[in-house]
Amino acid sequence: REERPPWEKIERRNWLACRGCNAGSLCIAVIMGMRAKQRCVYTGILCSENIVFSNTLYSWDEAIKVWVDEANSPGFDYGKGPRNPGIVGHYTQIIWYSTYQVGCTINYCPEEAYKYMYLCAYCPVGNWNNRLTKPYDEGPSCQDCPNDCDDKLCTNPCPYLDKYANCWLMKIILGCGTTFFGQYTMTHCPATCQCTNK
């Protein structure tokens, strides 16, 4: 929590049992490069993952710090993105505004040079291209959820995920309802249609 910028508006994280995201064959799948083809889905929600490998045993604070440190090197500026060439996607996934479930595991892969693999799954998935430079909304904490706030974090997450980046426009033009076009919008933009105060 102390790494979080004070103005960010994100959902409170709830820990989940990440069954299906960290099966026993995960070490082999990741090392073989096959993990990218698999999808972690938890209770019907698509999730994303952060993974770090180590040849020594880390504490969870140390493992997560590897991802959080991307905010400083290469560096991340809100509204602009990375300051320098490099990866910041692990950091932005941690602070992603709509993620409200997190599950972490450590896997021991004795046959590999990096024997320890730390994995955290974040649900729903973050790091959408249309928001990469703004992984959260600026403004006072709980501004969007004044009646559903705990310790400066919103507690009323939206369990739906839009399929299109322009759902806000589809809702204005086509509506969300019982008409043919309204049903189309409801099907492809469930978060925009069903999560108004979330």
pTM of the model: 0.75
State the pLDDT at residue 38: 54
For residue 118, the cross-strand partners are 52, 106
The predicted pLDDT at position 92 comes to 94
Please answer whether residues 9 and 143 qualify as being in contact, where contact means their C-beta atoms are separated by less than 8 angstroms.
yes
pLDDT of residue 178: 94
Instruction: List pLDDT tens digits, range 79-120.
Output: 999 998 889 999 999 999 888 888 888 888 888 888 888 888
What is the pLDDT at residue 184?
A: 97
Query: How confident is the chain (198 residues) per 10-residue block, as mean pLDDT?
Result: 46 52 44 51 77 91 94 93 90 90 84 86 86 90 88 88 91 96 96 85
Q: What is the pLDDT of residue 2?
A: 41
User: What is the token pair recorded at 98?
Assistant: 């709509």
pLDDT at 22: 46
Q: Which residue has the tokens 């703004």?
A: 134
* Dist CA 79 CA 161 (whole Å): 23
Task: Return the pLDDT at 104.
Answer: 84
